[in-house]
Amino acid sequence: MTPAAFDAIERFVGACTRWGRVSNLVSASDRARLWERHVLDSLQLVPLAEGQGPVWVDLGSGGGFPGIVVAIAREGTRMTLVEANKKKSAFLLQAAAEAGVKVTVVPKRIEDVAPFAADVVSARALTALDGLIDLARPFFAAHTIGLFPKGREAQTELAAAKAAHDFTASLVPSLTIDSSIVKVTDLRMVT
């Protein structure tokens, strides 16, 4: 990561800390460890998207993790952040401006966003994988990958999602916490 990207992430973390005092962007206990718990957790998605194109959509972006962090760290990324909560959407716009990163914020429910083909779809702490696949499907094309950080129950969530959907997946151990990232490819329509 370049020094400029590091500085931009520092500015973003500063915005999270300020806004977090008045809005529940991240839990109070996590504010003291934003780098460890949220930034590094987000950064580990960047190498998993190696070779993918620039169009990335982050669903349920909340406090900007992983979307804004990825947009800063991954040069050339065209990041779309989908967040229905108006206060969080306003934060995302302000925080991106403070960090000096260009993103598109869509202040709508995921189901109300016009479908488009992304190169990468991500979502963190949004819903169980089965429901997440349903929400992500409108943004998948043949080449798209999904990167979904999940907790200790990743294997169980993956099994439930595989029972209802047709896709290929791998579990990548998280580098930051006792969890996994579910990497989804080849999402197909079930007939």
At residue 178, φ and ψ (nearest 5 deg) are -75, 80
DSSP state of 138: G
Residue 174 lies in domain: 3-188
The pLDDT of residue 21: 59
- State how far the Cα of 184 lies from the Cα of 167, in Å rounded to an integer: 7
CATH number (domain holding residue 65)? 3.40.50.150
Cα dihedral 84, 145, 133, 166, rounded to 10, equals: 160
Contact 53, 177 (CB under 8 A): no
Total tally of structural domains belonging to the chain: 1
Beta-bridged to residue 76, according to DSSP, are none
Phi-psi label, residue 190: left if phi above 0, alpha if psi -120 to 50, beta otherwise: beta
Is the bond preceding residue 3 a cis peptide, omega within 30 degrees?
A: no
Q: What is the pLDDT along the chain (191 residues), one digit of tens a residue?
A: 789 999 999 999 988 887 765 555 655 555 566 667 778 889 999 999 999 999 999 999 988 999 999 999 999 999 999 999 999 999 999 999 999 999 999 999 999 999 999 999 999 988 899 999 999 999 999 999 999 999 888 999 999 999 999 999 999 998 877 789 999 999 987 65
Q: Tell me the pTM.
A: 0.91
Nearest to 5 by CA among 52, 65, 55, 74: 74
In angstroms, what CA-CA distances link 141 with 107, 120, 144, 180, 191?
Answer: 23, 10, 5, 24, 17
